[in-house]
Structure 1
């Protein structure tokens, strides 16, 4: 299977931006060290600091699914429970 690109958009609730940001930043070094992770880049919107985006590339969808079941993702979900307004994830394939 070909490389999988993930675009994940996370919108923190008002007053929860710094908490969500800190928890997202914790994921970066751990995830970058995972097998099959090509890149895992976190961005914060310049106009809306509550909006975060991950741009990720994985060697395969199967490897990405392993990542989604990793303990550090579960810890993030627990730490940010109730602090996120919206989470939108898109699985994408590069076409050009």
Structure 2
């Protein structure tokens, strides 16, 4: 099992737009084989700071997720709304930063 923590800092005032665009992404991702959990959190008092917290059965399941239409569509739709982003993949033996 691996965990993913995907940090996104939205452009000023765009956090709400990213949250809205994430609804389909979240619903479709939760249906994927190997997805144990997939949630989005918005920092209280800082609505442009977002964190996806995910749990996957394996790195292979996560890799398959990266190639789904819903992740590609979400990435394209939000590319101009993000100021920065960072993905941390937590394995039992190490942490990867993408």
TM-score when normalising by structure 2: 0.88
- The structure-2 alpha-carbon separation of the partners of 1:94 and 1:48, relative to structure 1 and needing over 3 Å to count, comes to farther
From 4, 7, 14, the counterpart of 1:6: 4
Shift of 1:18: 2.0
Q: Which has the higher contact order (CA 8 A, sep 6+)?
A: 1
CA distance in 2, matches of 1:23, 1:89: 19
Matches within 5 A, 1:1-96: 3-94=1-92
Q: Describe the superposition over 1:36-72 as per-residue Cα deviations: whole angstroms up to 9, x where unpaired.
A: 0000011110021001111101000011000011110
CA RMSD of aligned residues (A): 1.3
Shift of 1:93: 2.8
Shift of 1:94: 5.0
Q: How many residues align?
A: 93
TM-score when normalising by structure 1: 0.89
Instruction: Confirm or deny: 8 A CA contact 1:5 1:94 kept in the other structure.
Output: no
Gaps (5+ residues) in structure 2? 94-98
